[in-house]
Amino acid sequence: MTDAVSLIRAKRDGQRLADDDIRWLFEAYARHEVADEQMSALLMAIYFRGLDRAELRTWTAAMIASGDRLDLSSVGRPTVDKHSTGGVGDKVSLILAPLVAACGAAVPQLSGRGLGHTGGTLDKLESIPGFRSALTPDETLAVLASAGCVICAAGSGLAPADRRLYALRDVTGTVESIPLIASSIMSKKIAEGTSALVLDVKVGSGAFMTSYERARELAETMVALGEEHGVRTRALLTRMDVPLGRAVGNAVEVEESVQALQGHGPGDLMEVTLALARQMLALAGLAGDTAGDPAAAIADGRALAAYRAMVRAQGGDPDAPLPEAAYIQVLPAPASGWLTGLDALKVGIAAWRLGAGRARKEDDVSASAGIICLAKPGEVVRAGQPLLELRADEPERFGPALAALEGAIAVSDQGPPPALSPVISEVGPA
């Protein structure tokens, strides 16, 4: 007879868990026959001992089976989604979902909220007056059918085991385990019912994965999981040493996203967005279609129209003024020369301290707080010129934010830094 203590001991001692034992574990955990303390001990054993590919496949399947799966068969278009591992200024989803929808696919994007220095897609969209991110499955399908894309919260019925496990990982120091990260992300994405998925795995100081090797391992693990569960999956590794685009926050990122959909997006942001769009359209079988050119969909206004349709379908007013911060403070360039560094992590923490992020899931966020990067690495700056524009609802937030920016800026008189593409590499099925 299987019991939790035996499974903890087995994994602690480096043994693999049998498929039937993993399935029993999740069923018993759902019935509260396995205590949180026991599941926490097993998570720690997995943190140190890992899960092999077969174990991880079954573990992920059991997480999916713990809840419902969306049925997208009625949508009438090829379905494809995207997931980012999170970064600073990463508003790609706001541009990408309507862009790919404008090219003929359906994009059912279940997104999350920000925590710590990384922003959350739902927090950004909820800065639009009236926008609703909490949709029922029927509402999700209705928005998808009418607008071609939807960006909403994952319902409580999708992979509910992940919600409980994530809470345990957060308080037990086991968040960084690649098998646990991969199963958490992929169980929700597979349960949402999409046929194809492109992953944006961030690498750098402002990313969850700071090393290329760990990021590539995570990408390969998630791609394999997707393929094993019948979801066509690819990944791009993209840089997150510098904030993406120029806006960091909630309303300010919405504003920059609309500018991008109008054809005025910053180069690094558009390079990542268009690369992901091309991958998504290829997986959806639309890359050779005359309508499947993402750059053309921005140029002719189709992408912006899809965005506006999605916002309206989710209760928002795309023409309403966005919230504006009551206070602004500028951080000047410390010297003249080439701007060679703008640390994404420090900028993200500063935006969080201004009110744009949260320390705990239950915290409120400010829609208007954030940072505008008035210059980016590779540009020439003069000593004293405005470099960062800090925005907040309360002036007392500027002190802690400025403290977070200590050492964030590097200026050199030795010439420009090498121009690096934000897209590092692609990971496909093994």
Confidence of residue 291 (pLDDT cuts 50, 70, 90): confident
pLDDT tens figures, 10-25: 999 999 999 999 999 9
Residue 404: pLDDT above 90?
yes
Catalytic residue among 133, 177, 184, 366: 184
Q: How far is CA 366 from CA 91, 142, 326, 344, in A?
A: 16, 30, 11, 20
Q: Specify the pLDDT at position 156.
A: 80
Residue 229 known to be catalytic: no
Residue 358 known to be catalytic: no
Catalytic residue among 162, 200, 241, 343: 162
Residue 83 known to be catalytic: yes
Mean pLDDT, the chain, as a whole number?
94
Q: Specify the pLDDT at position 219.
A: 97
Catalytic residue among 57, 83, 124, 234: 83
Catalytic residue among 11, 117, 169, 346: 169
Confidence of residue 328 (pLDDT cuts 50, 70, 90): very high
- 3-state SS class at 143: helix
| Residue 338: burial class (beta carbons within 10 Å; 0-12, 13-18, 19+) | middle
| Rounded-to-integer distance, Cα 121 and Cα 203, Å | 19
pLDDT tens figures, 142-152: 999 999 999 99
Q: Is the alpha carbon torsion for 349, 352, 356, 362 positive or negative?
A: positive
| Mean pLDDT, residues 89-101 | 97
Share of the chain above pLDDT 70, in %: 99
| Mean pLDDT, residues 126-147 | 95
Residue 1: pLDDT above 70?
no
CB contact at 8 A, 57 and 222: no
> CA end-to-end span of the chain, whole Å?
37
**Selected residue with higher pLDDT from 359 and 413:** 413
**Selected residue with higher pLDDT from 90 and 167:** 90
Measured from the Cβ of residue 329, the count of other Cβ atoms closer than 10 Å reads 17
Residue 184 known to be catalytic: yes
Q: Specify the pLDDT at position 333.
A: 96
Domains and CATH numbers, the chain: 4-50 (1.20.970.10), 80-320 (3.40.1030.10), 327-412 (3.90.1170.30)
CB contact at 8 A, 211 and 203: yes
**Phi-psi region at 334: left, alpha or beta (left = phi > 0; alpha = psi -120 to 50):** alpha
Backbone angles phi, psi at 211, to 5 degrees: -110, 145
